[in-house]
Structure 1
Amino acid sequence: MISFLRCLLFPLMYHRSGEGRGGIFMHFSRQLLPAMAFITIVAGSASAQQGDGGEPKKTDCPTALPAGAECFAGQDTQGAYYWIAKPKNWNGTLVVHAHGGPRAAKPQADDPVEDLTRFAVTVQEGYAWAGSNYRRQGYGVRMAAEDTDSVRRIAIQQLGKPKHVLLHGQSWGGNVAAKTAELYALDWQGRKNYDGVVLTSGLLAGGSRGYDFRADLRAVYQYYCKNHPRADEVQYPVWQGLPKGVTMKRDELEKRVNECTGLALAPNERTAQQSRNLKNILAVTKVPEKTLVAHLSWATGLFSDIVWRRMDGKNPFDNSKVTYTGSDDDTALNKGVERFEANPDARRAMAYDADLTGQIVLPTITLHAVNDPTVFVDHEAIYRQTVEEAGNSELLVQNFSDEAEHSKLSTPQYAALFTAMLTWIEEGKKPTKQSVALLCEGKRKIYDEACKLLPDYEPKLPAE
């Protein structure tokens, strides 16, 4: 109930761009009611999966962890499964991890093992690690943030009070971790629950801006391909993802994409029409060829989850004023592409759940691949602007790497980020891009992977 009341109070702190600051109480009801509806949906989804919140049980650690590490697993009172790992040489710092996604499958007890294995570098560096798989599948940033903070408390009960607590989020987990930092950085007495935040490959543009490009992709794809949906199938607006109650397997989506674009074929095996379709779709949407199916999959299953399970069928996406460019006939494309306008309540609910305010109180370090094919690097420019407008630039250090990866970047770069964060916390020395790059060179000797940091790189804001 305390968490529920906290959620109800936070709309008073949120302002969408373009709304005056003086009229917040006039806007109270229209901001709060959709947020309450969103919370009710989330709470209702979670209530049927609540766990017993029993003590963590000792279990075998993944083989990726160093010898002597101890692992514990359990389920919290909301039903979220979690894992905790402590190295033999624990340095006293706990890293709380927020995973990416959102995942489509129902949570399983061993889900966090994948994240623990992927980021085993934290334990190898001497940090304890704790991660939750969240109480349910599907979208919900505030829900995931609450479950992330829950595993922090459980880990401290299990391990004892740490010297420092760091919050780490990867991919969509970057959105979750950044939201966690805004909601739970301090306890009710103003004491720090966390000491620093590390965000890698983070979806930091928030919900109201972070998914519009996938809505654009669905519209542009349908203009050229006309097979999602097909003409002989139930017709629906593409922003829905799928009709209510309908699912689509990944291989079926791949089949449709291949029919239209020849994506699975060698370029010289594609028909002229397939080549034209693929070239236009990629040029207009800027989606990389290797992640085209992945982005369409998110714009199918995830959109369906958002619309039907979280928004009560209302549309949070908008392309009504978008001018599409880059095709071989922009005039025809803009005339013929499907248009849709966001429902204001759904848009506000999406923003309330997932947008970031920049109201940070903790040192924050980010890392993003310049050629990230999944969460584009301009998310960092948007987050930088958000933090700057909130007056908190001195708490943010952003780093960039010459990589085209998303889910996991080069290992020594993570080690460097956490070392830089501890130095910032303990010695008050704010890192620079150059100092992080130097730290990475030292870590490279341990992990035998390349350091690809670009100290001089700075992303630009996307064109509106």
Structure 2
Amino acid sequence: MATAVAGPVLPAAADEAGSTACPANLATKATCYTGRDANGAYYAIAIPEEWNGSLIMHAHGGPDLGPESDPQRSIEDLERWSVMVDQGYAWAGSSYRRGGYGTRMAAADTENLRRLFVREFRKPKTTYIHGQSWGGNVAAKAIETYASQENGPYDGALLTNGVLGGGSRGYDYRVDLRVVYQYYCKNHPRPSEPQYPLWMGLREGSTMTSSGLRARLQECTGYASAPQDRTAAQQRNLDDILAVTRIPERTLESHLRFATFTFRDIVHSRLGGRNPFSNQGVRYSGSHDDEALNAGVERFSADPSAVRDLSYDSDITGKVSIPVLTLHAIDDPTAFVEHEAAYRASLQGAGRDQHLVQTYTQESEHSALSTSEYANSIAALDRWVRTGTKPTASSIAASCSAFDATYGTGCFYQPGFLPPPYASRVNPRPGELDWPALTAAQEREWSRIPGVGIAP
């Protein structure tokens, strides 16, 4: 019988964790378990036959937008990240208690699962946390929340293609997309439909689906058609939207989907209808007529209490006291590599950047990088933790070939690369001079205000 460890985060008991068939790629290599904790979060655990005694806690990306925890999500994540088990690590991943935004909630669900693992199996020699995409934000928040104290539960963190800008400013490029798209397309909403401020993403009662959104995007831009099959108006709309927002054409639809459905979740389900976003004072450029665009685009200011709550939930304090290794594709079309510059600035602002090593690869995908690089990254983090010797981007690049001999997926490190500042890619809002860390004083003050943060 598996029960969750009592503690200040999630003290309730969990349901029974039972053994289950492992994904096919781990069928002969590990024993797998699944369960659901008392908060409703499904989880999966894998322990390799030749366990090295260490554990990797996985924080998945998204966020998924279903109202409940997805029982298949953690199993799919285990299959996707089987390289960690293949390298000898036990692995545990939570599907989180519900879909929708909530960085601290997801961090708490991950920590609760770690406690369950310790109770049901044993305390690992070392425990690492791995976050991918939005899960990078979750993992970064988890180590600031639970590993900032001496002898905390996590020994190191691996953040891959992480959304490390936090929620209060990390989505500004999608705010810009939402308003620029509507300026050119005028079909989201249409003039004949109920109107709403665009910072909502979508009005609360709308029945629009993802396929419906894609149809409107296609109607306006012809994005899914070959260039020769687009009308002149569609091509100009597409050219202007891409030039102004600097969003890659291949991920335009996914970014607009986020700026529609995830914004609706953040605003209506998590912030009680309050607006955390602003584009006042932003000067848009790159279109065929910037003057008309700036005169006609919808403008709005954020509600300070909404900014406070979203910031408390997801922004980075920089309060890091364990080794943190990041891996990011230079041409990531979803979480732009400039997120790494924002993360480093936060740690520098807190005087903690000595705990950070960042690596970059000449790859162009967001959801998956080379398996050889993932294996190399967790090995490099493990060496750093065990020996106390901090690696360099060059030394990590050099060690990858040994893993590529096994996996054969390539090593694409660019050890000399440094990302430009976040504000060079995303329009800064007036008054944003740099990317400071959320201060410890703000963290303490906001944590005492009832209702601050994203509702569980």
TM-score scaled by length of structure 2: 0.89
8 Å contact from structure 2 (residues 162, 328) kept in 1: yes
Q: Which residue of 2 aligns with 1:241?
A: 201
Q: Match for 1:286 among 239, 246, 255?
A: 246
Q: What amino acid is the match of 2:365?
A: E
1:332 is the counterpart of 2:292? yes
Q: Match for 1:253 among 207, 213, 226?
A: 213
Residue 247 of structure 1 deviates from its aligned partner by: 3.4
Residue 2 of structure 1 deviates from its aligned partner by: 6.5
Instruction: Look up the SS of the partner of 2:193 in the other structure.
Output: coil
Residue 55 of structure 1 deviates from its aligned partner by: 2.9
Provide the aligned C-alpha RMSD in A.
1.5
- Deviations 1:302-344 (Å, cap 9, x if unpaired)? 0110000111101001101110011111111000000011011
Q: What amino acid is the match of 1:140?
A: G
Match runs of 1:95-114 below 5 Å:
95-105=56-66, 106-114=68-76
Q: Match for 1:225 among 177, 180, 185?
A: 185
Match runs of 1:414-429 below 5 Å:
414-429=374-389
8 Å contact from structure 1 (residues 284, 327) kept in 2: yes
Equivalent residues, number: 418
8 Å contact from structure 1 (residues 317, 342) kept in 2: yes
Q: What amino acid is the match of 2:118?
A: I
Q: Which residue of 2 aligns with 1:160?
A: 122
Q: Match for 2:110 among 144, 148, 154?
A: 148
Unaligned runs of 5+ in 1: 5-42, 44-49
- Deviations 1:362-418 (Å, cap 9, x if unpaired)? 100001111111110000001001101111111000000111111111111111111
8 Å contact from structure 2 (residues 21, 27) kept in 1: no
Match runs of 1:50-61 below 5 Å:
53-61=14-22
Q: Which residue of 2 aligns with 1:450?
A: 410
Q: Match for 1:295 among 252, 255, 260?
A: 255
1:361 is the counterpart of 2:321? yes
Instruction: Look up the SS of the partner of 2:26 in the other structure.
Output: coil
Q: What amino acid is the match of 1:368?
A: H
8 Å contact from structure 2 (residues 40, 69) kept in 1: no
1:388 is the counterpart of 2:348? yes
1:133 is the counterpart of 2:95? yes
1-structure distance, mates of 2:148, 2:140 = 14
Q: Match for 1:65 among 15, 21, 26?
A: 26
Instruction: Look up the SS of the partner of 1:131 in the other structure.
Output: strand
Q: Which residue of 1 aligns with 2:36?
A: 75
Comparing 90-99 and 154-163, the one that deviates more = 154-163
2-structure distance, mates of 1:156, 1:61 = 20
Q: Which residue of 1 aligns with 2:312?
A: 352
1-structure distance, mates of 2:72, 2:187 = 37
- Deviations 1:408-460 (Å, cap 9, x if unpaired)? 11111111111111111111111111111112111111001011111000001
8 Å contact from structure 1 (residues 66, 123) kept in 2: no
2-structure distance, mates of 1:110, 1:186 = 32
1-structure distance, mates of 2:286, 2:297 = 14
2-structure distance, mates of 1:2, 1:270 = 58
Instruction: Look up the SS of the partner of 1:398 in the other structure.
Output: strand
1-structure distance, mates of 2:235, 2:29 = 54
1-structure distance, mates of 2:13, 2:21 = 22
8 Å contact from structure 1 (residues 54, 76) kept in 2: yes
1-structure distance, mates of 2:395, 2:50 = 26
Residue 186 of structure 1 deviates from its aligned partner by: 5.2
Task: Return structure 1 stretches of 4+ with deviation > 6 angstroms.
Answer: none
Q: What amino acid is the match of 1:425?
A: V
Q: Which residue of 1 aligns with 2:442?
A: none
Instruction: Look up the SS of the partner of 1:64 in the other structure.
Output: helix
1-structure distance, mates of 2:367, 2:273 = 30
2-structure distance, mates of 1:439, 1:230 = 55
Unaligned runs of 5+ in 2: 1-5, 429-456
- Deviations 1:103-158 (Å, cap 9, x if unpaired)? 01232222201111111100010100000010011000011110010111111222
2-structure distance, mates of 1:232, 1:51 = 49
Instruction: Look up the SS of the partner of 1:221 in the other structure.
Output: helix
8 Å contact from structure 1 (residues 247, 301) kept in 2: no
Q: What amino acid is the match of 1:245?
A: G
Q: Match for 2:365 among 405, 420, 441?
A: 405
Comparing 111-120 and 362-371, the one that deviates more = 111-120
